[in-house]
Chains A and B, each alone.
Chain A
Amino acid sequence: MTIALSVSDIHVTLGHNHVLKGVALDVRPGEFVTLLGASGSGKSTLLNVVAGLQSVDSGHVLFDGVNVEKRAPQKRNVGVVFQSYALFPHMTIGENVSFPLLAARRPAKERRAVADEMLSLVQLPGMADRSPASLSGGQRQRVALARALAANPGILLLDEPMAALDKQLREQMQVEITRIQRKVGITTVSVTHDQTEALTMSDRVAIMRDGFIVQVDTPEALYRRPADEYIAGFLGEANLLPTIGGMILDTQPGATGDGVAVLRPEDLEVVSADSTASAWSIEGRVRLLSFQGSRFRLELLTDAGRRIVCSLPPAADVAALVVGSRARVACRNPDRVHVISTGALVAEPVAA
Chain B
Amino acid sequence: MSSTVARSLGWYRLPIIVIAALASLLLIVPFLILVSTSWTSGSFILFPPEGFSLKWYGEVLSDRRWMGSFGLSLWTSLLSTLIATVLGVSGAIGLTRVRSKVAARWIRTLFIVPIALPPIAYAVGLYGVNMDLGFLRGTLVTLIIGQSLIALPYVFVIVSGGIARIDPALRPAASTMGARWPLILRTIELPALLPYILSGTLFAFVVVFDEVVLAVFLMPPGMQTLPLRMLNASQEAFSPELTSASTLVSILAILVLTILPISNAVRRARQQRRIDAGAKSPVAAPLEGVTE
User: Interface residues, chain A, CB within 8 Å of chain B?
Assistant: 51-53, 72-80, 82-84, 86, 88-90, 92, 99-100, 102-104, 129-131, 133-136, 147, 151
The proximity string for B residues 274-285 relative to A, scoring 1 for CB distances below 8 Å and 0 otherwise, is: 111011111110
B178 x A103 contact (CB < 8 A): yes
B271 within 8 A of partner (CB): yes
B280 x A130 contact (CB < 8 A): no
**Residue in B166, B178, B274 with the greatest tally of chain A CB atoms within 10 Å:** B178
- Nearest B residue to A77, CB-CB: B178
Q: How far is the CA of A120 from the CA of B167 in the complex (A)?
A: 27
| Given A92-B274, A131-B275, A134-B279, 14 extra CB contacts under 8 A | A73-B172, A73-B175, A74-B180, A79-B177, A80-B172, A83-B169, A86-B169, A88-B174, A89-B167, A103-B177, A103-B179, A133-B275, A133-B283, A134-B280
**Residue in A79, A86, A88, A151 with the greatest tally of chain B CB atoms within 10 Å:** A86
B262 within 8 A of partner (CB): no
The proximity string for B residues 191-207 relative to A, scoring 1 for CB distances below 8 Å and 0 otherwise, is: 11010000000000000
**Residue in A102, A133, A147 with the greatest tally of chain B CB atoms within 10 Å:** A133
B178 x A80 contact (CB < 8 A): no
Contacts of B169 in A (CB 8 A): 82-84, 86
B176 x A129 contact (CB < 8 A): no
Contact of A130 among B174, B176, B194, B275 (CB under 8 A): B275
Contacts of A88 in B (CB 8 A): 170, 174, 188, 192
A74 x B271 contact (CB < 8 A): no
B192 x A90 contact (CB < 8 A): yes
Contacts of B187 in A (CB 8 A): 99, 102
29 pairs of residues in contact across A and B, judged by CB atoms under 8 Å: A53-B176, A74-B176, A75-B178, A79-B177, A82-B169, A83-B169, A86-B167, A86-B169, A86-B170, A88-B170, A88-B174, A88-B188, A89-B192, A99-B177, A102-B183, A102-B187, A103-B177, A103-B179, A130-B275, A133-B271, A133-B275, A133-B283, A134-B275, A134-B276, A134-B280, A134-B281, A135-B280, A136-B280, A151-B177
Contact of A103 among B167, B183, B283 (CB under 8 A): B183
Q: How far is the CA of A100 from the CA of B176 in the complex (A)?
A: 9
B173 within 8 A of partner (CB): yes
Known contacts A89-B284, A133-B284; is-contact A76 B176 (Cβ 8 Å): yes
Contact of B178 among A83, A84, A86, A151 (CB under 8 A): A151
Q: How far is the CA of A135 from the CA of B179 in the complex (A)?
A: 25
Contacts of A84 in B (CB 8 A): 167, 169
Q: How far is the CA of A52 from the CA of B175 in the complex (A)?
A: 9
**Residue in A52, A134, A135, A151 with the greatest tally of chain B CB atoms within 10 Å:** A134
Q: How far is the CA of A86 from the CA of B183 in the complex (A)?
A: 16
Q: How far is the CA of A131 from the CA of B283 in the complex (A)?
A: 10
A80 x B275 contact (CB < 8 A): no
Contacts of B280 in A (CB 8 A): 134-136
Instruction: Give B106-136 interface residues, CB cut-off 8 Å to A.
Output: none
Known contacts A102-B187, A134-B280; is-contact A74 B275 (Cβ 8 Å): no
Q: How far is the CA of A88 from the CA of B283 in the complex (A)?
A: 14
A52 x B176 contact (CB < 8 A): yes
Q: How far is the CA of A183 from the CA of B88 in the complex (A)?
A: 48
B167 x A129 contact (CB < 8 A): no
B274 x A73 contact (CB < 8 A): no
A147 x B177 contact (CB < 8 A): yes
